[in-house]
Amino acid sequence: MSSFYLCTFIAATVLSVIYTFIWQKRFDTNITFAFFMVPFINLAYYLMYTVKNADTVIFALKITYLGGVFLTWFIMLCVLNLCKISVGRSVRLISFVINIFLYLSVLSIGIYPIFYKGIRIRKAGRTWEILKEYSFMHTVFYIVIVTEMLISFAALIYSRVRKKDVSKTVLNLLFIPLLVCVTGYLLNHALFKKIDIMPLMYVVSEMVYILIVRRMVLYELSDMVIETMVQAGNTGFINVGLDQEYLGSNETAKAILPGLKDLTVDDRIRPNGYFDNNILQWIASFEDKDQTDRILYSKEDSDGDGSDEIYNVVVNYLYDGTKKRGYQIFLADDTQNQKYIRLLDQYNSELEEEVAAKTESITNIQNKMVMGMATMVEGRDNSTGGHIKRTSEVVRILVEEMRTDPSVGLSAKFCEDLIKAAPMHDLGKITVDDDILRKPGRFVPEEYEIMKTHAEKGALIVREILNDIDDESFTQLAENVAHYHHERWDGNGYPKGLKGDDIPLEARIMAIADVYDALVSKRVYKEKMSFAEADRIIKENMGTQFDPGLYRYYLAARPLLEEYYSHID
């Protein structure tokens, strides 16, 4: 009998040593604990039948119950983990506490009648005979074991049927240790009275778990990829703790950042030194964004050929389970790719410049066409000589004054587009008959109604001219200027009778410029007004004809307007 237990102890020890040599950090912790415990448990079985005094027999007996109490628990947790069934910390803690109390009752053997009501040990030849009288905690012991085994079987069956992300081969192998343990318990009570075969069952389970961990390595693809990258030397790999302590790196990373060679594990990566513009900066950038944004790191030329090496840097959190423990930093050589990108950027820039030059040329042609049409209209209208140029300047003076007020929020493009669009505001007059357009006096009502159509027709002409320009915002603004510059703030304007803020801002500005020029310029039907008289009319019509919100900017621009008109006179 003692030789049987000795053989199982030796076998368990050999298997544990093998496991130690093949151990990797991603192996399930519960399996590792099991391999650690089995040799001690099997040694206890051997001692229980070979020692020379009864007290040592009882001590060894208590050690053997580690297998019954904890190995089944470890197997259950291992099954749940490998089946990817999440178990909360509180559940783990409660089950652990139950097993601790259960084993404490085991320790009462020979002292209190908690686990055994009584125990007698007598010599039977060269070995010992142990007579046990079980107590209520022994019943609890069986209940706990059966419950843990049932949970394990249920998890395996559920995963076998429902889960697609768990290896079926591993699931099949996991059934074996459970069946072996169940078989051992049944055979002990049914057939073997003088020898306990559980040590042999533990050895068989160890053999199966070695197969399992060897198989599981194949399914840890992400870790294997990282290890392959690191071992191949193509990728630099640095680990840094949350407190910026150095946890290690591979040789590739040390070649990229030679300062790593001077660091010892657990050294703090302190600021104001070599790592300010690399590791510390990468971590700070990652923390600010809290995402895996890529960063480019340029290493100065080490070969003297004038080309820097460029690395793609990726920072991620380093996790221990679900808890953040630090940072993982990967550096991949991206020099060739970045060269291609730079060449492509250079080509795109040159292409953009060429397109911009051609676009500018087309735009200039269009602007000249527009100005030519506007000049032609002005030439037909003998009452508006120089009106186009003057209103454009008035618009420029007004919008520049408005831009000094940040609350208005006028963009530089809006102002530039409005000044460029101002000459188009009267293009619709090209559709008006010469008899009306060139009339040397005021219009009768019928003629005025015809003249009023120039606003709507002008909008159509502007849209048609600018339709192919790749700048919709400018096209819409120019169309609005032509269409609505005769609308009034009180809604009594034309052609749509828009009121207040329904009138586009560009048209409201154009309205002031158009009327101001008409007041201070000479027409065939009137002399020009004085600046004071023109100012009075503009002021009186604020809130009726003009946007009252624009008065403050007109008032501020008045000196420049008067200076401009005085100069052209």
pLDDT digits (tens, 9 = 90+) for 507-553: 999 999 999 998 998 776 678 899 999 999 999 999 999 999 999 99
pLDDT of residue 191: 62
Q: What percent of the chain has pLDDT over 70?
A: 85
- Mean pLDDT over 208-226 rounds to 63
Of the ranges 2-16, 46-60, 178-192, which is most confident? 2-16
Say whether pLDDT at 6 is over 70. Answer: yes
DSSP per-residue string spanning 463-523: HHHTTTSS-HHHHHHHHHHHHHTT--TTS--SSS---GGGS-HHHHHHHHHHHHHHHHS-B
Quote the DSSP letter at residue 112: S
Alpha helices in 381-438 (DSSP H): 387-403, 412-421, 434-437
Q: What order of strands is seen across the sheet that includes strand 246-249? A: 246-249, 235-241, 323-333, 309-320, 295-299
Q: How many Cα atoms occupy the beta-carbon half-sphere of 288 within 13 Å?
A: 7
- Mean pLDDT over 375-380 rounds to 61
How far is residue 159's CA from residue 165's CA, in Å, rounded to a whole number? 9
Tokens for 506, please give them. Answer: 């560009």
> What average pLDDT is seen over the chain?
82
pLDDT digits (tens, 9 = 90+) for 495-505: 999 999 999 99
State how far Cα 169 lies from the chain centre: 36
All structural domains of the chain with their residue ranges: 2-219, 223-333, 350-568
pLDDT of residue 154: 93
Radius of gyration of the chain (CA): 46
* CATH, range 2-219: 1.20.1070
Distances (CA, A) of 17 to 36, 102, 124: 9, 30, 35
Say whether pLDDT at 394 is over 90. Answer: yes
Secondary structure of 441-457 in the HEC alphabet? CCCCHHHHHHHHHHHHH
User: Where is 179: in which H helix or E strand?
Assistant: helix 168-190
Which residues touch 253 (CB under 8 Å, ≥6 apart)?
236, 237, 238, 260, 329, 331
- Mean pLDDT over 431-443 rounds to 78
Confidence of residue 321 (pLDDT cuts 50, 70, 90): low
State how far Cα 319 lies from the chain centre: 17
Look at 128-132, 190-194, 276-280 and tell me which has the smallest mean pLDDT.
190-194
Where would I find the beta strands (DSSP E) of 156-282?
235-241, 246-249
pLDDT of residue 223: 47
Amino acid at 385: G
The model scores a pTM over 0.75: no
pLDDT of residue 334: 73
Tokens for 500, please give them. Answer: 């207040």
**Cβ–Cβ under 8 Å, residues 384 and 378:** yes
Distances (CA, A) of 519 to 487, 495, 534, 537: 18, 22, 6, 9
Place of tokens 């040789």: 251
The answer to whether the peptide bond before residue 495 is cis (omega within 30 degrees of 0) is: yes
Judged by DSSP in three states, 431 sits in: helix
- Mean pLDDT over 245-252 rounds to 81
Look at 8-17, 133-142, 344-353, 428-437 and tell me which has the smallest mean pLDDT.
344-353
What is the 3-state composition of the chain as percent helix, strand, coil, each rounded to the nearest 5? 65, 10, 25
How far is residue 134's CA from residue 143's CA, in Å, rounded to a whole number? 14
Nearest to 452 by CA among 497, 418, 391: 497
pLDDT of residue 307: 60
DSSP per-residue string spanning 253-269: HHHHSGGGGG--TT-B-
Confidence of residue 225 (pLDDT cuts 50, 70, 90): very low
Query: Looking at the DSSP assignment, which residues form a beta bridge with residue 298?
Result: 310
Place of tokens 């009327």: 515
pLDDT digits (tens, 9 = 90+) for 259-318: 888 887 667 888 878 888 888 988 888 888 755 556 888 876 555 454 678 888 888 887
pLDDT digits (tens, 9 = 90+) for 63-110: 888 888 888 888 899 889 888 888 888 998 999 999 999 999 989 988
Q: What are phi and psi of 116, to 5 degrees?
A: -115, 135
Quote the DSSP letter at residue 69: I
Amino acid at 423: P
pLDDT of residue 301: 59
Secondary structure of 189-239 in the HEC alphabet? HHCCCCCCCHHHHHHHHHHHHHHHHHHHHHHCHHHHHHHHHHHHCCEEEEE
Confidence of residue 221 (pLDDT cuts 50, 70, 90): very low
How far is residue 288's CA from residue 195's CA, in Å, rounded to a whole number? 66
- Statement: 350-568 belongs to CATH 1.10.3210.10: yes
Superfamily of domain 223-333: PAS domain (3.30.450.20)
Confidence of residue 187 (pLDDT cuts 50, 70, 90): confident
Of the ranges 205-214, 319-328, 393-402, 417-426, which is most confident? 393-402
Count, residues in the chain: 569
Judged by DSSP in three states, 409 sits in: coil
More confident residue, 292 or 473: 473
